[in-house]
A and B are shown apart, each in its own frame.
Chain A
Amino acid sequence: MNEILNLLTGLAVGLNLLALGTSRLRLLIRAVAAQGVLLGLLPLLLEHGAMDWQLVFITIATVAGKGFIIPTLLHRAMRTANIARELEPFIGYISSLLLGAAATIAAVVIAQHLPLFPEHVGSLLVPGAIALILTGFILLIGRTKAISQVCGYLILENGIYLFGLLLIHATPMLVEFGILLDVTVGIFIIGIIVDRIQRAFDSLDTRKLTALHE
């Protein structure tokens, strides 16, 4: 079980680097969505055989939210905002990749200095979570386009979710709360879409007004 868990977490960390290195928003969104699905499956692996409705709920909500609903919204926002690439980020792609790698190494070092339960020692859960959180910050700070920043926030949020899995047995509630963060993201994106539509209407209105005036 632990092997598969580590493999999934490792893949999620790998997707970080894809997200950091690409300038294409479409690819960025896909990477984040794939990461969400990978992480969404983890609760099923953590529970050794026993299935309860809470776990199933968390899994379904996470996979649906992070893997499908939010990426769809993001794609829509991308179309309404009519941008496909992040052209001039604050932090260049090579620098962000190197920063991401440094963050991953730092995550491993930090995780080694944290006292963990024996069952969490060998797993990539904690270092993976820290790496995701740091990567999310790099994207949040380093990108200029709103959609890339939202993706950064999503990765940050994925990291927190991964971290929350440490507590899934004791306080599954905290993990469920993490899903509420997705709501925040949803509002982010809706904000982008609404703003675009509003601006379109604004310009339309102004033209109408001059037309009546003449």
Chain B
Amino acid sequence: MKSLLLILIPFLGAILSALWPSNRTRPLFLPVFALAHTLLAFWFLTRPPGFDPAAWLAFDPLARAILPGVSLLFLACAVYAVSYLRLHPQDNRVFVAALLLVLGLLSAGHQARHLGILWIATEAVTLAAVPLIHFLGTPRAFEATWKYLLVGGTGIALSLLGSICLGYASLHGGGSGDITFTALLEHGPLLSKVWVLAAWVLLLVGYGTKMGLAPMHTWKPDAYGESPGIVGAILAGGVTSVAFMALLRIKSVIDAAGESVFASRTLLGLGLFSTLVAALFLLRTRDFKRMLAYSSIEHMGILSIAASFGAPGAWAALFHIWSNGLTKGALFLSAANLQRAAKSSSMDDVRGMSLILPRSSRIFVAGMFAITACPPFAPFFSELLIIRVGLGAGQGWAIGLFLFCLLLAFLGLSRIVFAVVDGRPRLKNPERIHLKETAGIIAPSLALLVASLWLGLFTPQVLRDAWSAALLQLFAQP
């Protein structure tokens, strides 16, 4: 029951910040509650609490394997948000409360062991993120919010439909209507096959939309491009990981029902397609925040590919969630600095940022190398592992296509990043830049980058253990 604190603390923070009168001091709630959350999450990581298998919400091994990473990312964003909101004099009551609400719901989503609770958490996260994306209030932000709601809402609807199908499959197999994952796994072989397949397809599309797998990715570039950088980082590192974890949990049920071949194939196909689509769009886009969105789509594809390779692949996927989340956070936060200084995120307007914001630019470039899997950052090791697992599973052609996409993505990313960073500053009014590179806006992204480096070089044993324990939970049934 202690693990409920992970959900309740952010909720408490959300309520308090919504009631707090001062617009200036309200953002301080974010780092305080995020720190409490992170400390608690890491406490549970090192000392896993026991849990009741029939519980609806519990800090089970899978939550233990992912949630601390999300919490860490959120902490960095929360620290950044303080200095960010200081420069935005508009009312931040809804923004702060919604951010903390998102954190609480993310914790709930990661800990959900019940199909319905999982769905509610995902739905609520989607809705709580709406004011975040709309924060800047521009017409473009509204358009992005609308697309996000429409596509995300449809995804949510489909995942509810899929959950109903899975419930019916269990009922048809003689179940009592209990749709906790424990019960579903137990009933696995009895589940009605047709309904299981229908459920898998719907849930894959539904949660895949939340993850941003192509072709359900259309909301992503707009939402990431038009919202503040912290929101992009949290969506890319936190919300997507809830959706991915939902798919992992569901896939274990599908595997138990004896349909693992079909599930793996669809995951692999969708993953490769996402990676390819993202790589091609990366070659075309001229906006560095949209670039990050496409990169996120690419990495969601990589996660799906990894998850399709059975237990060793799932281990690599858990590793990659951490490395992608941390590195993407560093990229988003440094990109936010560049955008705030240049008042634009298009490579046509923004040039020579290394002369204007040298530190952010350096982090941005390093983050670019990290996310395109250059050693010694964590993504290199996790992707190397995925490739080795894939070759071991005999999926040579898939890995070939995957490597080709990685190459394209590298070309696309480096093209934009160097265009933005290098050259002579070509801003509309360069003398008007007020953004100073204070510790408040540099430290979070730097910390995330260092975390990514550290994760790659010395993957801590406690994390390795957590990921292996999560595999035991997912692949207990042969």
- Report A's interface with B, CB cutoff 8 A: 113-115, 117, 133, 140, 146, 149, 153, 156-157, 160, 163-164, 166-167, 169-171, 173-174, 177-178, 180-181, 183-185, 187-188, 191, 195, 198-199
Chain A residue with the shortest CB-CB distance to B165: A163
Enumerate B133-158 residues with CB–CB distance to A below 8 Å: 134, 137, 139, 142, 145-146, 149-150, 153-154, 156-157
Complex-state Cα separation, A174 to B162, whole angstroms: 11
Interface size class of B (residues with CB under 8 A): 35 or more
B154 touches A174 (CB 8 A): no
In chain B, positions 108-167 with a C-beta closer than 8 Å to chain A are: 116, 119-120, 123, 126-127, 130, 134, 137, 139, 142, 145-146, 149-150, 153-154, 156-157, 160-161, 163-165, 167
Check if B127 sits within 8 Å of A187, measured CB to CB.
yes
A171 touches B160 (CB 8 A): no
Closest Cβ neighbor of A129 among chain B residues: B161
Once the chains are docked, how many angstroms separate the CA of A152 from the CA of B167? 25
Residue of B nearest to A157 (CB): B157
Asked whether any CB of chain A lies closer than 8 Å to the CB of B194, the reply is yes
Residue contact B120 to A156, C-beta cutoff 8 Å = no
Check A115 against B194 for contact (C-beta < 8 Å).
yes
B192 at the binding interface (Cβ < 8 Å): yes
CB–CB A184/B153 < 8 A: yes
The reply to whether B164 and A181 contact each other, CB–CB distance below 8 Å, is no
Chain B residues lying within 8 Å of A114, measured Cβ to Cβ, are: 194-195, 198
Question: How far does the alpha carbon of A185 sit from the alpha carbon of B175 in the complex, in Å?
Answer: 32
Instruction: Give the contacts of B229-278 with A (CB-CB under 8 A).
Output: none
Point out the residues of chain B lying under 8 angstroms from A157, CB to CB: 157
Instruction: Give the residues in chain A near B126, CB-CB below 8 Å.
Output: 184
Contact partners of A188 in chain B: CB under 8 A:
149-150, 153
Q: Is the CB of B137 within 8 A of A167?
A: no
Q: Are B195 and A174 in contact (CB under 8 A)?
A: no
Given A153-B154, A171-B177, A164:B149 Cβ within 8 A: no
Cα–Cα distance between A140 and B150 once the two chains are bound (Å): 9
B429 within 8 A of A: no
Which residues of B in the span 187-214 have a Cβ within 8 Å of any Cβ on A?
192, 194-195, 198
Shortest C-beta distance, B39 to chain A (Å), equals: 32
- Given the complex, which residues of B lie within 8 Å of A115, measured CB to CB? 172, 192, 194-195
Known A-B contacts A160-B160, A163-B164, A174-B163; A187 and B177 likewise in contact (beta carbons under 8 Å): no
Measured between beta carbons, the chain B residues less than 8 angstroms from A167 are 164, 167-168, 171, 177
Q: Which B residues are CB-close (under 8 A) to A149?
A: 150
B60 to chain A, nearest CB (A): 21
Within the complex, the shortest CB–CB distance from A61 to chain B, in Å, comes to: 15
Docked-complex contact B160 and A178, CB < 8 angstroms: yes
Indicate whether B176 reaches chain A with its CB closer than 8 angstroms: yes
Q: Which residues of chain A are near B192, meaning CB under 8 Å? A: 115
Question: How far does the Cβ of B161 sit from chain A's closest Cβ, in whole Å?
Answer: 5
Interface of B is mostly: helix
Residues of B within 8 A of A153 (CB): 150, 153-154, 157
| Structural contact, B153 and A133, CB atoms closer than 8 A | no
* A170-B127 in contact (CB<8A): no
B179 within 8 A of A: yes
Which residues on the A side are within 8 Å of B154 (C-beta)? 140, 153, 156
Give every chain A residue within 8 A of B153 (Cβ-Cβ).
Answer: 153, 181, 184-185, 188
Structural contact, A180 and B120, CB atoms closer than 8 A: yes
Contacts of A183 in B (CB 8 A): 127
Is A181 touching B167 in the complex (CB atoms < 8 A)?
no
Q: Please, could you name 26 A-B residue pairs with CB atoms under 8 Å apart, sorted by A?
A: A114-B194, A115-B192, A133-B161, A146-B146, A153-B157, A156-B154, A156-B157, A160-B160, A160-B164, A164-B164, A166-B168, A167-B167, A167-B168, A169-B177, A170-B176, A170-B177, A171-B177, A173-B116, A177-B120, A181-B153, A181-B156, A184-B156, A187-B130, A191-B142, A191-B145, A198-B142
Q: How far is the CB of B101 from chain A (nearest CB, A)?
A: 14
Q: Decide if B157 touches A181 in the complex (CB within 8 Å).
A: yes
Besides A181-B160, A191-B134, 16 other CB < 8 A contacts?
Answer: A140-B154, A149-B150, A153-B150, A156-B157, A160-B157, A160-B160, A160-B161, A164-B160, A170-B175, A174-B163, A174-B179, A177-B116, A181-B153, A184-B153, A188-B149, A191-B142
Q: Give the chain B neighbours of A178 by CB distance below 8 A.
A: 160
Contact residues in B for A171 (Cβ distance below 8 Å): 116, 167, 177, 179
CB distance from A172 to the nearest CB of B (A): 9
Give A35 Cβ to nearest chain B Cβ, in Å. Answer: 16
Nearest-CB residue, chain A, relative to B172: A115
- Nearest-neighbour CB distance to chain A for B43, whole angstroms, equals 32
Closest chain B residue, CB of each to CB of A150: B150
CB closest residue in chain B, given A184: B153
Q: How far is the CA of A187 from the CA of B130 in the complex (A)?
A: 9
Q: Contact flags (1/0) for B351-367 with A, using CB distance below 8 Å? A: 00000000000000000
State A191–B145 Cα separation when bound (angstroms): 9
Closest Cβ of chain A to B136, distance in Å, is 12
- Which has the most chain B C-beta neighbours within 10 Å: A133, A170, A178, A199? A170
Contacting residues, chain B, for A133 (C-beta < 8 A) = 161
Measured CB to CB, the closest approach of chain B to A42, in angstroms, equals 15
B172 contacts across to A, CB distance below 8 A: 115, 117
Residue of B nearest to A195 (CB): B142
A117 to B174, CA, bound (A): 11
| CA distance in complex: A184, B127 (Å) | 7
